[in-house]
Every structure is written in structure tokens, then in C-alpha cells.
Amino acid sequence: MCGICGFTGEIIDRGDKQEVLRRMTEIITHRGPDSSGFYTDEDVAMGFRRLSIIDISETGDQPIYNEDKSLVLTFNGEIYNYRELREILLQKGHVFTTQTDSEVLIHGFEEWGEDLLNKLRGMFGFAIWNKKDKSLFIARDYFGIKPVHYAVVNGNLVYGSEIKSILEYPGFERKFNRNALDRYISFEYSVPPETFFEGVYALMPAHYLWFKNGKVETHRYWEPKFEPDESMTEEEAVDEIAKVFEESVSAHKISDVEVGCFLSSGVDSSYVSTYFSGQKTFTVGFDNGERYNEIEWAKNLSEKIGVEHHYKVITPEEYWGNIRKVQYHMDQPLADASCIALYFVSKMARDYVKVVLSGEGADELFGGYNIYHEPDDLASYQKLPLFLRKALAGVAKALPFRFRGKNFLIRGSQPIEENFYGNCSMFTMEEKKKLLKKDIPCTRPQELTMPYYNRVKDLDDVTKMQYVDINVWLVGDILLKADRMSMANSLELRVPFLDKEVFKVASRLPKRLRVNSENTKYAMRKAALRRLPPETAKKKKLGFPVPTRVWLREDKYYNIVKDAFLSEASRQFFNTDALMKLLDEHKAGKCDNNRKIWTIFVFLVWYDIYFNGGSHEPGVMPELH
């Protein structure tokens, strides 16, 4: 695992090119503390930080070249089928000088060009410079496990695994993107391809980029299409899942260093951990009751499957003391409170191993989120005439108080395209209008998700929801925190569910074998049951609960958030009276506003770091200005 960065062209009156590249590379040292590498000529500068995993000798260092050195590669990720591709390329006459998976990319690109991408099995973000035609090619993996960002500055392309590198480029002018705040308030994360920095974009998953003659062109080379096979039986589905997942875990364990596994009480990571007999698992939790602590579940399972289990209880002081450090490493604000817990489990794991496997992606591929039950729950009600459902929803909205079934009446009056725009939805349009200052854009989040719905309009509602989550939620939240929190601790995180061969099987499952009245991830749980005790395989989806709702009712943490809500930065973007109402109602126990409060608070912390020059060091929360 590594980090890459670079830029094209010369730096005019802005300092030495090698020195600029060194700064861009050093700021992401956490992604690769083992070594660094550089390539510069009059047309390009390419930097690299290495975390040694495969071919850990110096021969695996980058940049890597083809035979005549006309192509130059820097690469972040792992290619799990590199040995098979290497053999094919050797038979075609290519000459290899290392044992690393990186070299397969440079020779593969020379042989197949863009068609290389669909031959790969792995996670990747890489850049290839062609000295002959002075073009730069950049590609990102199928699901967006590894990040790539880019900007065009004064006609030059500037790129990096993390936005931090781009911010170090002397010609880049740091400007806050107000459009990103609008989307963040709806989704709790910055929705790609836009970022919170004007002019900086995320290369989308399964896309590649060409930069030639001062122009950027992006293309999609793969799409996660669902094609349910209604003839598939339960037994066939379970057999196929069990077989392909075992193969995927085996491929993802390839390494020249020890590999460990994250472990919660859920079926996803538990299923992965059953392939780790005699190795190490890692869990964190909070001392706020069983709801916020999965350590005992993980400990018991570890004993049953014969792994060495390590755990940590995170104190409130540790959690709050590291919010700034976590948001700094995120590059952009992420209001998923579990990202800080992920930081701590990554930090603990790095004391023992360099690589861990985790369970991300199972919910999106196999239908794991509880919200996926909603189409079935609403089915009977939606048989009523639309005019009647809309009338009932209008009455429910008009009533100023909450009551059981209010949300059911409102959501039941709308098609799935209107009432679901991702696994997480924060503020309604009405709430956004009250909250945001008038000069901040305020748009319907459905405008962003509708193009995805249009691509799957002939499929059932559950499959539509999964498709939207794979393209939006998985990229903007789940994989962002997985990459940033592991890399902040120089730890490689691998996700065997997010494998294109696993997806081939998941994409064929009929809806009844994904989500039904018995459970979510139905067929996948049946496959896991072959290796797990029933209480784990059948356990209801919990997520990674963090006791923010409890803490925000304590004076100490209430006051920290209050100071942020009344800060000068807050007044730039929000109506502070509306913010304080959210906070005070929550503290008084009138309603649970903790996720909405957290969404705003995290943004203000992040903004203070990146635009007010605030500290990102761990410790007591400094005052926001």
C-alpha cells in the first residue's frame, strides 16, 4: 500500500520542481513510511511513498519502468492476480526486473493499453507517464477502494492519493466549495466527484483519465450491473457464494508480511475471520453498555475459531481528543462517527501487523442494510390509490408533533426514487432551508441520485437501492473512512467482499435471496453459517454504534459543541439559532438529534483545520474561531 502524487509541466517562478514534489510526497508519508521514490523530467514530476507488502526488498521500489523506460509508473494498491498476468506477459516477451505486482501494470499497459483494467483483480490507483507522446494516464479500481484526486492548475494536471498533496502545489489556490456543503448536509459526506476544494475532483470508481495537450478526459471502463437470475435456487446461491468468497479471501491474504483481521459482532467481518485460524483479530468498543461494545461477541467468536484476539475500550476523552486528527486525515469532513473508532482499531492493529482484512462491501453487494426491508414493508400500503396516500402524507407533514407511523405515511406516498437517496440521509429540504444561510446553495439530493436510478429503472426497488448505495454511499463514506483511517496508521486494509468475482455472483442473486422477511443478506448468511455459529451468522445488522447521543447530553461535550455552533465560522454558513435549538432539544431529551448535531460539528472542526489554520494535533479540543 502506498501513496502517489505528481504534476505535469514546469513550475514558473514558483520554486524548484524537485522541492515541490518532495513536499507533496512527504505530507502523505503516513501512506508509505518505508521508502519514497521520484521521477522528474521537463514535462512531469511523479512522487511515491511505499508501504512494503509484496517484494519487500528494494527491488519493489517505485517508480517502475518498462523495458525501454518510455513508460513510468507509480502505483497505490494491490493486484491479486498479478502472478497469472505476469506469466502471460512473460510469454509475450516482456522482461521483468522485480517480483512486485506493480510491474505487471507497466508491462500490461504496454501490451493492452486501457484494456488492461478489465483484466485486473484488486484495488488500485495508479499513474503512467508516456515520455514519447507526453500523455498521463491515471486509473482507479472498480469500487473506489483506493483514492485518486486531481486538479488542473494553470494548464497543468496535479494529482494525488490524498487532497493534501494537491494543496502543497504552489500554483493551487485554496478556495472553499459551497456547493459541497449543500450535499454534505444531505448525505453526511462530500459526494464525489466534487470536493470541498474548488477545482479539486475525485476520479470516480471504475474510471480512467487521460491528460493530453492540456485537456482532461475521463471514461468509465466497468459498471456494477445487477442481472438477477430468478431461476437460481437457494442451494446454488449458497454454494457459489461460499466458493467465490473463499477464493477471494485466499487472494486477499497474499503478502510477504503477516495479515490480520478486523472483527466486530456482525456476520461480515466474522465470516472473514474464520479464514484466520492461528492469526490475529482486532476489535474496539466503548464503555457504555452492550449496545456500544462488541468486544465480548468478538472475543467469544475468536475463542471458537482459534484466533489471537486483541481489543481496546475507547474512552470518551480519547475519542473527543482525536476528532481533529481524524478529520485532518480525512481531507474532507465525514460525519460518520464510526470513523474515529476505525482510527483506533487501525492504530491498535498496526502494532502487530501491516495488513488487515475487513468486511466492507458485503451490505451493498448482498443486501445487508435494514432499510432494504422498506419496499416490502410499504408494499401493502402502496396498493392504496396514490391520491389517498398523498393526502394522508400531507396531513402527517402538517401535524407539528411526532407520532408513531408518521414517517411511514410520508415515505409510503412516494416512489423509491424520492424517498431513498442513499443509506444515510441527514436533513430534509425544509430543515436545510432553515439551517443554511441564504447565500449557500440548497438543492434536492434526489437530483444527484436520479441519474443512477435511471440506469436501473427496470429493476426492483431493493436492487435500485443497492445500486445507488454502491455508487454513492460506499464511495463517499464507507471506503473513504476505510482508506484514510488505515493509512493514517500506515496499515493496509483489504476488502475481500469488494472483489469483481464476488460481485459476479452477488449480481445474479434474485432479490428473494438477498432481502426477505427472514433477514437481510439472506444467502450470504447461509454461506457464512457453514463456518460460523448460528447466533453470529443470523445476527441483525448493527453497524458500528458510537455513544455520541449519550455524550452530547453531558455538560462537558455539550459545551464543546455549543462553542463551535456559536463560533464566527459557524455564523458564515448557518443560522446559529437553528443549530442551538437542535443541540438544546437533544440535551433536554426532547428528541434524538445527535446525528444532525454531529454532522454540523464535524464540518466546523474540519473547516477550522483547513481554512482557519486550526491545529489537527490530538488533545483537548481547541476553541474554534
Catalytic residue IDs: 5
Q: Give me the residue label for grid cell 455552533.
A: 565
Task: Return the number of other C-beta atoms located less than 10 Å from residue 451's C-beta.
Answer: 9
Cα gap 437→451, rounded to integer Å: 28
Which among 521, 513, 593, 498 is positioned nearest to 553, based on CA atoms? 593
Q: What angle do CA 330, 336, 340 make, to 5 degrees?
A: 60
The C-alpha cell that represents 559 in the structure block: 459545551
Note whether 393 and 413 are within 8 A (CB): yes
Handedness of CA 416, 462, 229, 500 (dihedral sign): positive
Q: What is the dihedral of CA 503, 504, 506, 507, to 10 degrees?
A: 110
Task: Return the number of other C-beta atoms located less than 10 Å from residue 428's C-beta.
Answer: 13
Cα gap 594→592, rounded to integer Å: 6
Q: Give me the residue label for grid cell 473527543.
A: 320
Cα gap 473→451, rounded to integer Å: 15
Which among 374, 415, 420 is positioned nearest to 393, based on CA atoms? 415
Any residues with CB less than 8 A from the CB of 500 and at least 6 apart, and which?
121, 142, 222
Residue spans of beta strands (DSSP E) within 470-509: 492-494
Cα gap 267→576, rounded to integer Å: 42
